[in-house]
Amino acid sequence: MISNALGTANTPRAHMNNRAAMDCLRDIGLWEECAKVGHGGKYIMHYRWCETLAGEEYARNYSWGFGDRAGDYVNASPCHHLDLPQSVLEPILLRYATTNGFKARFDTEFLSFKEDKASGKTICLVQDKVTGVQYQIATKYLFGADGGRSKIVKQLGFPMTVVPGGGIAYNVLVNVELGHLMENRQGNLHWCMRLYKDYPFLVVARMVKPWHQWMFVVLPKGPQVPEQTFTYEEWAEIVKDCIGDGDDVDVEVVDVSKWIINETSADVVSKGNIFCLGDAIHRHPPTLGLGSNTCIQDSFNLSWKISLVLKGIASPSILDTYNVERQPIAAELVRLSNDKLRAHIGVWQAIGIQPPGAPLEQRIATLQTLRSSTPDGKAARALLKERVRELYSETAALGIEMGQFYNSTVVYANDEPQPFAKTGREADDPQQFYEPCTYPGRRLPHVWLNTPVPGKLVSTIDIAGKGRFCLITGMGGEAWKVAAKQVQEELGVPIHAVAIGRALDWEDTYLSWDDRKGVEEDGAVLVRPDLFVAWRAQTSGDEEAKLGKVMKSLLGLKA
């Protein structure tokens, strides 16, 4: 692993880690460590619109699994949302990688690559930024996780879908103690609507370290607004104004950085043995909190496939499914993130700060109408309620976070009588709701399991994964476990076979697996190493032949 940076991230950057990403880190044993250093609970439970942090509040929503959606979130994953800044998460990931055989080189810039057809390797030209020395690295696989200005994507010439940008925003990282304001304003995102200011007219205050370090995100009036230049002292005054608690607040500006509101996705994300991930293939604003979470899931999707191919267990053809499975998700999240940012305009209009630059009298009149008992006031309040409720799905987007569906050759749905279709509330609102099921191509449902003599609860997520396929059966399904052992010996593919049911390997503690398993007690559910369902059999019968046929198909082997 190389990086042109001096080291791991030195500013918070991405911060909200959702359940889908945390399930990935749980699989490699990092969830508990992350939970100790991240912040959940009251620190992230609200999403607010206000004049200033200390001033009038216009509206708030519950966020990230709180309020009336709490049960949906608890039932979706054994993990929970964490505010875990990139500057804290990256060292954890780096330590895990380097203690598991990976070498890391910082201050090393990627310059270009060429493919050596004779050896089948990719030759990368890199430069040590300290010494200036250039040298080559030969690799079987090249992974381009080199960010929004990816040289690898550029050299590959991947076509990109680009919507003109939304302007320049600024991240202002500050140390300022605001605990005295937070008792009744707990939450990690606060939209400060600067009704009486022309610039900045809109600032998002984001908690970094409760409650003494904050990121103030200054949004532009529009895409054509020129870059703003302020000294640290001027930024400090802007931050004080957004706090609104008088001049006694001591603000220390730590860092100021700018970023562009992008709407860009790659139409192709891999070519041959070169795979691109993260911001290299999907660039968007932080609305919905999907950026780094999708980066982690890109990696989780690809890693098990690479591992099985490197070990000679699977055909290299399965690597083509990375593009099939992840590119549509990348394109969708870019669209959804920008759509949700644009949806905020409705709230801004209802409160009176949009369009930016409108006469002060007009802005004040809009706010005064909200406070009036007139028919216009009633209509204005109804409009604000409607616009705020529309944005509830930004921080309650469980369907977007957990509801992915893969349709590729590493999913075997030939035995399904019907094509996949979303059901229940997810069918009505696929952004907000997620209905767990075991249809091939969907995420393995989380339910809590235990032993007959109760010990510590264990999730279905915990018995699956870990670089192995997992075959889950139930009462009367003993033959499936025998078949799994035989297929593992024949193909060399790791398969962990377990039975869930009364007096079996695991007890269905809350009887939830029985509701979600989607097969008979003697049927079977085959789960991929990345915790997505690969195949299922409704009942027992001809177990070894069926499982062997399916596994060969999944691994890209001849029947």
pLDDT in tens, 332-389: 999 999 999 999 999 999 998 877 667 888 888 999 999 999 999 999 999 999 999 9
In a domain, 180, yes or no: yes
* Dist CA 83 CA 274 (whole Å): 32
Domain that holds residue 446: 403-554
Q: What spatial distance separates the first Cα and last Cα of the chain, rounded to whole Å?
A: 37
> Does residue 86 belong to any structural domain of this protein?
no
What pLDDT, on the 0 to 100 scale, is given for residue 23? Answer: 99
Which band of pLDDT confidence, cut at 50, 70 and 90, is reported for residue 434?
A: very high
What average pLDDT does the segment 66-78 reach? 97
Tell me how far apart the alpha carbons of residues 557 and 316 are, in angstroms, rounded to a whole number: 10
Stretch 215-226: mean pLDDT, rounded?
85
Do residues 151 and 125 make contact, with C-beta atoms less than 8 angstroms apart? Answer: no
pLDDT value at residue 494: 99
Say yes or no to pLDDT of 311 above 70.
yes
Number of domains within the chain: 2
Segment (H or E) for 343: helix 321-351
Burial class (CB in 10 A: 0-12, 13-18, 19+), 182: middle
Residue in 416, 456, 457 with CA at minimum distance from that of residue 437: 416
Three-state SS for 391? Answer: helix
In a domain, residue 454? The reply is yes
In order, the DSSP letters of 250-268 are --EEEEEEEEE---EEES-
pLDDT in tens, 274-307: 999 999 999 999 999 999 999 999 999 999 999 9
| The last residue of a domain, from among 260, 282, 302 | 260
Neighbours of 319 (CB within 10 A): 21
Q: Are 554 and 315 in contact (CB under 8 A)?
A: no
Which strands, in side-by-side order, build the sheet including 507-508? 458-459, 448-450, 507-508
pTM of the entire structure?
0.96
State how beta strands 189-193 and 46-50 pair. Answer: parallel
Output the CA torsion 536→485→480→446 (10° steps): -50
Which DSSP helix (H) or strand (E) runs through 213?
strand 213-218
Q: Per-residue pLDDT averaged across 108-127, rounded?
A: 97
404-411 mean pLDDT: 98
Assess if residue 114 is contained within a domain: no
Residue where one domain finishes, among candidates 224, 241, 260? 260
pLDDT of residue 9: 96
- DSSP SS3 for 127: strand
DSSP 187: -
Is 366 inside any structural domain? no
**pLDDT on residue 256:** 97
Residue 317 has pLDDT above 90, yes or no: yes
Q: Name the 3-class secondary structure at 35.
A: helix
For residue 356, the model assigns a pLDDT of 67
CA pair distance 558, 11, nearest whole angstrom: 50
What CATH number did the domain enclosing 510 receive?
A: 3.40.30.120
**Residue 198 covered by a domain:** yes
Would residue 425 count as lying in a domain?
yes
Q: Which pLDDT score is estimated for 156? A: 98
Is 543 within 8 Å of 479 (Cβ atoms)?
A: yes
Domain assignment present for 118? no
Closest of 289, 279, 205 to residue 243, by C-alpha:
205
CB 338 within 8 A of CB 284: yes
% helix / strand / coil in the chain, to the nearest 5? Answer: 35, 20, 40
pLDDT at 223: 76
- pLDDT confidence band for 258 (50 / 70 / 90): very high
Q: Which of 211, 237, 260 is the last residue of a domain?
A: 260
